[in-house]
Amino acid sequence: MVQINLPQNSKVEKGKYFKDKTGSKNIRKVNIYRWDPSTGENPRIDTYEVDMNNCPSKVLDLLNKIKNEIDPSIAYRRSCAHGVCGSCAMNMDGKNGLACTKPHAEIKGDINIYPLPHLKVLKDLIGDLSTLYKQYESVEPWLKTTSKTEKENIQSKEDRAKLDGLYECIMCACCSTSCPSYWWNGDKYLGPAVLLQAYRWIIDSRDEDRKERLKKVADELKLYRCHTIMNCTNACPKGLNPAKAIASIKKMLATS
Amino acid sequence: MKENNPLSPHIQIYNWHVSSLVSISHRITGIVNYFLSIFICIWASSLFFGEGAYEIFKIFLNSIFGKFFIIGFIWSYAFQILSEIRHWFWDIGLGFELKTTKVTGLLVIFGSFILTILIYSSRGLLPL
């Protein structure tokens, strides 16, 4: 259901202010969403003054700098720092993206950092993605075949090209958590990330379960809650187009 | 434990862009048009109930509020029509590139105002 306002326990309060101690003249304010599960308090926004003269270019570098030099208590996910693993997906300057590929110079004014939208927060910038992973599992993201052959399952260049723009998805969840339909119906609507994955298996020439896959996804709530708002494609840090993938599934269903 | 975990902010913090604005306006004008079509039916029925009943609508539509109403009415339809055309292209799988959606979105927004001006200013041309 559409619920515009945040529940009472999620209302964001004003937090601590960390003043710059380096005496640098090149200071930027960074506002970060904080929530500590051990206190029982509401989430808050802490503000950090950061010396930008000694900070590398990406938002993740900025977070690392804050964690290393100002406040070690801050929690966020990160791993590869090269836009491959998808761990550091978060909301920066009102838009979802990967902190490791987003240059902070692109952000004007204060830098606002929130967890991915409309998720249960586990701590600070870490959201709970277990629903999304369950939904991902529900599309059975693996090759399914019934015919048994001893030979290699060969794919033509043309058929392989159909997977371009789909296989690159790193499941960072930037798209799904940017989607208002997913915000309001995230328990039933599969969301752009999972639907893009569903399409990736539907059009794989080696898969023999296409009909069943299409039948399974053809659902008022699972698929057709997509109203082409385009937030997903706008958010994708890998430049993929989930909205187009969803439209392709709809088109396949309408023409098959 | 999960019950007490807060929900991260969503619509409060997410940036608007052309496509999301057009999308929500498409939804709103759709609902408005639903009620406006009921208004058109009542208006048409007033013809049936004679001159006096029709006269009430005429007085209302010639008032300042009535003119505001009719212009808003035309805009709502103009927007819905243009946005629907955009959706038709999407339905056949065209126009999903980010740049294209931005341009078509802006076309819908500006087009709806231009169409409103064209329709409203041509009202005298009809022999009514």
pLDDT tens digits for range A178-198: 999 999 999 999 999 999 999
Given a contact cutoff of 8 angstroms between Cβ atoms, the answer to whether A170 and A86 are in contact is: yes
Same domain, A122 and A175: no
Residue A30 belongs to a domain with what CATH number? Answer: 3.10.20.30
Whether residue A24 is found in the same domain as residue A138: no
- In this prediction, residue B127 carries a pLDDT of 58
Query: Average pLDDT in the A48-58 region?
Result: 96
pLDDT of residue A144: 94
Asked if residue A222 is part of any domain, the answer here is: yes
CATH number, residue A233: 1.10.1060.10
**pLDDT above 90 (res B54):** no
Res. B1: pLDDT tops 80: no
Interacting residues of A143 by C-beta distance below 8 A, sequence separation 6+:
A201, A204, A206, A207
- A63 has pLDDT over 90: yes
Q: How far apart are the first and last CA of chain A?
A: 32
Find chain B residues with C-beta within 8 A of A7's C-beta: 6-7
Average pLDDT of A77-105? 97
Amino acid at B42: I
pLDDT attached to residue A250? 96
Strand A89-92, strand A95-98: pairing: antiparallel
Res A111 pLDDT > 60: yes
pLDDT score for A256 = 81
CB < 8 Å to A15, chain B: none
Going through chain A in order, the beta strands assigned E by DSSP cover 13-18, 27-34, 44-51, 89-92, 95-98, 111-114, 121-123, 126-127
- In tens, the pLDDT along A16-39 reads 999 999 999 999 999 999 999 999
All residues at 6 or more sequence positions from B55 whose CB lies less than 8 Å from its CB, including other chains: none
- Number of domains making up chain A: 2
As a whole number of angstroms, the distance between CA A92 and CA A108 comes to: 11
Average of per-residue pLDDT across B6-15: 96
pLDDT, average across residues B58-78? 92
Neighboring chain B residues of A165 at a CB cutoff of 8 Å: none
Q: What is the DSSP letter of A69?
A: I
The amino acid at B53: A
Mean pLDDT of the B25-46 span: 94
Domain contains A1 = no
Mean pLDDT of B97-123: 95
**Spatial separation of the C-alpha atoms in residues A167 and A235, rounded to whole Å:** 17
List B residues 49-68 in contact with A (Cβ-Cβ < 8 A).
none
A33/B9 CB distance under 8 A:
yes
pLDDT band at B126 (very low <50, low <70, confident <90, very high): low
Give the domain extent around A232. 130-145+153-255
Nearest to B11 by CA among A182, A55, A137, A8: A182
Residue A23 to chain B, least CA–CA distance (Å) = 31
Give residue B86's pLDDT: 97
Q: Is the pLDDT of residue A2 over 90?
A: no
Name the band, by pLDDT with cuts 50, 70 and 90, for residue A226: very high
